[in-house]
Chain A
């Protein structure tokens, strides 16, 4: 497992100390006992409706992909970014494969505990597509906005 992060727009291996993790349940049960934690780990079954108050002290939120087919964390990441305005790191853990990182990045993940061997290929896979039809959490303009912009410029 290798931690990959964006550096100047490129996905590269990150060499850093692991953060001090606490699960959402433990944190809520006893915040004092976890005052030193820097990463909040949220299970992919946890509802996020009232998460806003829990986020402020954490520089990392870790979301889980128990298997690559379990896509709940895609929605969770978008909610954290787009609804709750979380700007810290959103890290993907679990089964993180080359061909999913592209979707994860669009949903607002910016750190990946990569399960594959070839980190370069994961970075390359991010460049497979140059346009997207829909807006997500990565801030790229969807195709329809580009069409409008182009029509306006013409």
Chain B
């Protein structure tokens, strides 16, 4: 994991001091709320429906046990005993007092964390593959590049007042777990025919009111030029992105208005004129950062673990959890463990202080001190010996963190919605809770296979509904909460935007509708095809029929 040196630590400490001054000026009345707003928004502090909300950055989703314990401490000391993991690998606290926020930031800084650029029209916290450094299918660990982007983008003087917020995601696997095609910039590290590693640069994806799948504007960017190329894209966007209409200000609008080819030409022209040696990191610095992400000291183990197989045979619950929550690790004898934050009837992404501490302990004992946050609002222990899986499972069970439902129908993404968010049309969380209760039978869920439901409480699409296999969007109809269903979206390497089916439904009818859609899938499924594949084969019609016939 990356560790701060004196430069990183000083910068974060100075940021806390600066923010402490700003909060003091607000509390003394020197600043009005209007004047304070842009300042607090530079630091992840939102004013929500009931209270302030503080969003803490977890760069590329990587956490140490020490950091997780600090998050637990903050939840207990300054909040109501829990935190909420978001779709951007961040954590949010829903109830901090304004006067406490500088102390919270101090506590974070002690664990080398911050809330810098978790809001505002700037380059936001960079996200990556939660399996980075562990995935069996990755070209190399993408996190050093994510860390380089974090440093380059932090307080970038030119790009702190962009037309709109800006999100960058990095992956290094064919299987895209970072949703790079629906980001402002998505970077895919891969090897070309000559065996050299470089980035495919995808620009202009995004959800929200006008969803787009991004365009590859450069097929192969040598790794060492990553930062200068990003700077060229950002400069073109900063100068030419629309600022007259907040709904047309994201880079996707510019890219699609210009056309991807033309936009690419604009970037290439800017890039050609840049003095790259001032921007691109020299080899020494790339190696310095890379060294922090060297693989931990894995033991040499046989691929299979006899004790694991024995335990798997003996305990069907354990066996089921392994089937759904374990993923292949690149090192023989190790596995990746997914920790579901989606218990039946729970709030997706919520975790208590005690659970955070339990997880920190498990990571320390069994996963080289590492934890990851996923954009699907779950957590990961990336490096667990197969021999230890049963012990980890028992520990997770004790902490109520062993729900075996990763990728299944109850592993739902939901934005905070009207329970917290000032922009919401509808609630999202209760819909997620009710769907998971409706499908509570875990065996049944498993038989359905991968099925991703994503729920947003308004068109801003924080719950990524467009790329849900089943997407649910909250809409306001004359003061009543309605939900619009989309089908067939995907945020992975086979990215697509869902099709709208039918009219808006009440909350009750929405839960029923999901059940009917699932029943229709079950009836028409061939072999073991996924819901998404069945939908792509069948089209919307049979599903629409199933919905209307019963209506």
A residues neighboring B (CB under 8 Å):
47, 68-72, 74-76, 78, 82-83, 99-100, 102-104, 106-107, 125, 128-136, 142-144, 146-148, 151
Contacts and interface: CB of A to CB of B under 8 A. Distances in A.
A106 B17 CA distance: 20
B273 A69 contact: no
Interface-centre pick from A78, A128, A131, A133 (highest chain B CB count, 10 A)? A133
Contacts of A71: 121, 158-162, 238
Interface stretch (B5-13, B186-194, B393-401): B5-13
B524 interface: no
A74 B11 contact: no
B296 interface: no
Most buried by B among A74, A128, A129, A134: A134
Contact of B154 (A69, A107, A133): A133
B155 A133 contact: yes
Given A134-B279, A147-B5, A78 B14 contact: no
A130 B161 contact: no
Contacts of A70: 161, 243
A107 B157 contact: yes
Nearest to A152: B284
B318 interface: no
Interface size on B, as a range, is 35 or more
Nearest to A77: B158
B157 A130 contact: no
Contacts of B284: 148, 151
Contact of B288 (A68, A99, A134, A147): A147
28 contacts: A47-B239, A71-B162, A71-B238, A72-B238, A74-B159, A74-B160, A75-B235, A99-B39, A103-B158, A104-B157, A107-B157, A125-B18, A128-B18, A129-B11, A129-B14, A130-B10, A131-B10, A132-B155, A133-B11, A133-B154, A134-B152, A134-B279, A136-B158, A142-B278, A143-B11, A144-B151, A144-B282, A144-B285
B313 interface: no
B282 A74 contact: no
B281 interface: yes
B334 to A, nearest CB: 33
A136 B14 contact: no
Contact of B157 (A47, A136, A147): A136
